[in-house]
Amino acid sequence: MAAAAEQGVAEAVRKEGEGEEQVVNPWEVSAGKGGVDYDKLVDQFGCQRIDAALVDRVARLTDRPPHCFLRRGLFFAHRDLNDILDLYEKGEKFYLYTGRGPSSEALHLGHLVPFMFTKYLQEAFKVPLVIQLTDDEKFLWKNLTIEETKRLARENAKDIIACGFDVERTFIFSDFSFVGGTFYENMLRVAKCVTLNKAVGIFGFSPEDHIGKYSFPPVQAVPSFPSSFPHLFAGNDQLRCLIPCAIDQDPYFRMTRDVAPRIGYQKPSLIESRFFPALQGENTKMSASDANSAIYVTDSAKEIKTKVNKYAFSGGQDSIELHRKLGANIDVDVPIKYLNFFLEDDDELEHIKKEYKEGRMLTGEVKQRLISVLSEMVARHQRARAQVTEEMVDAFMAVRPLPNMFG
C-alpha cells in the first residue's frame, strides 16, 4: 500500500464526467445524484476489496456461515483482515473495537448495522470487545452540553447492550468518564506524531475550526492499542485489534496506522461497510432533524408502515402497466436495499429481486414485505431494550477484568 494512501488526503473524489464532488469523511457524506462511488472511494482511501475467497476463509475459520452483511458485500472493504485471520489460524487472539457518537436520543437502523455485525464477530471468533462512546466528540461538533452528551451516551449504551453483547467479553466506556492514565498517555504519543498539515490533509479541517476538533482524532485512535486498557490487556501490548466500522471512519484509522509503528504498536486492521441509505434514496442523508429520513428503534409498527409506504424511494414504474412491461430498477430501490440488509433468507431475497426486476412483483408488495421484516426486528429490539437496567449499564461500563475474555 502506498504511503500516501496510508497517510491519507482530504476526502474528496471528483466523479469523472459529471463535475460532481464526492465528499466522505467522519462528519460529512455527500455524493450527488449517483450515490457514493465505492470503487473510487476504495482507490482514494487505499483500502482493499473483500472478495469471495476472503468471505469463504472467514466461514471456514469460524465454522459458521458468514453474516449476511459479509456474504452480500455490505461489509465490502478491509485493511489487513488477512493478517488477523492468519493470527487466528495459528491460535493467536485479537480484540474488537467499535464505537458510537451519542448525538441523538434513539438509534436509527443505520446505527445498528455495525453493532449487529460486531456481535457476530464477537461470537464467531470468541474475542473481547471495547466499545467507545465519543461523548466528547459530540460536544465538540454538535450544539450539545457536556451533561447532555454524557446522558445520551448512557441511553445509547442501552440500545447497544440490547443487541445482545456478552458482558463477560465486552467493555463499554464513555470518553468523558474513562480518558486518563495510559489511555491519555497514548493520546499524547499519537498527537506528537501528527502535524497540523497532516491533520488538515486527512480530515479537511479549516482555519475556522476550533482547536478542540484538531485535538480529537487521537482520542478515537488509541482504543486501537491494547495498552490503553491495562485492566484488560496488561502485559499484552502487541495484541492485534480489528475495527468494524462504516468506511467514513477510515480517515481516523489511516492516521492511526501511520503512527502506530512509530510509537511501538501494531497497526489496527479494519473491516468496513457501505453506508445505510436514507429512506429517500442514496443521494440523501439520514438526519436527526428529519424523522422521516430513517427508521428508528423507537418507531411503532404504524410509524414504520407509514414511513416505508410514504417515503421509501421506489425503483418501480409510474403505472402498473408500465411496471409489468419494464420492471423495476432495483439498483436505486430503497426497499430492496433495506431487505438486502435485514432479510435473512438469501433465497427469498433473490426471488423478490428477480420478480420485482421483471415486473411480476409490484412496489406495494415489496414494501409490504419490508414493513413486516422491519416491524418484527424493531419490536424485538424494543423488547430487549426494555430489559436493560441501569445496573446492567453499570456492569458493562465498570473498569474490571473480563472473566471470559477469550472463552
Left (φ > 0), alpha (ψ -120 to 50) or beta: where does 17 sit? left
Confidence of residue 162 (pLDDT cuts 50, 70, 90): very high
Q: pLDDT tens, 365-403?
A: 999 999 999 999 999 999 999 999 999 999 999 999 999
The reported pTM is 0.93
Q: pLDDT tens, 188-240?
A: 999 999 999 999 999 999 999 999 999 999 999 999 999 999 999 999 999 99
Determine contact, residues 279/109, Cβ cutoff 8 Å: no
User: Beta-strand (E) ranges in 344-396?
Assistant: none
Confidence of residue 307 (pLDDT cuts 50, 70, 90): very high
Determine contact, residues 247/241, Cβ cutoff 8 Å: no
Q: How far apart are CA 154 and CA 152, in angstroms?
A: 5
CB proximity list for 137: less than 8 A, separation 6 or greater: 101, 175, 216, 219, 220
pLDDT of residue 407: 77
Indicate the CATH number for domain 299-387.
Answer: 1.10.240.10
pLDDT of residue 315: 95
Nearest to 154 by CA among 141, 138, 172: 172
Residue 2 predicted with pLDDT over 60 = no
**Backbone torsions φ then ψ of 21, nearest 5 degrees:** -110, 130
Q: How far apart are CA 15 and CA 65, in angstroms?
A: 37
Side-by-side strand order, sheet with 28-30: 12-15, 20-25, 28-30
Give the residue-averaged pLDDT of 151-178: 97
Q: Where in the chain is the domain with CATH 1.10.240.10?
A: 299-387
pLDDT of residue 23: 79
Nearest to 183 by CA among 236, 232, 225: 225
Q: pLDDT tens, 20-57?
A: 577 777 877 777 666 788 888 898 889 999 999 999 99
Residue 64 predicted with pLDDT over 90 = yes
pLDDT of residue 285: 63
Q: Which residues of 384-398 are buried (b: 16+ CB within 10 A; e: fewer)?
A: bbeebeeeebeebbe
pLDDT of residue 25: 78
Q: Where in the chain is the domain with CATH 3.40.50.620?
A: 27-278
The CATH class, in words, for 27-278 is alpha beta
SS3 category, 26:
coil
Confidence of residue 11 (pLDDT cuts 50, 70, 90): very low
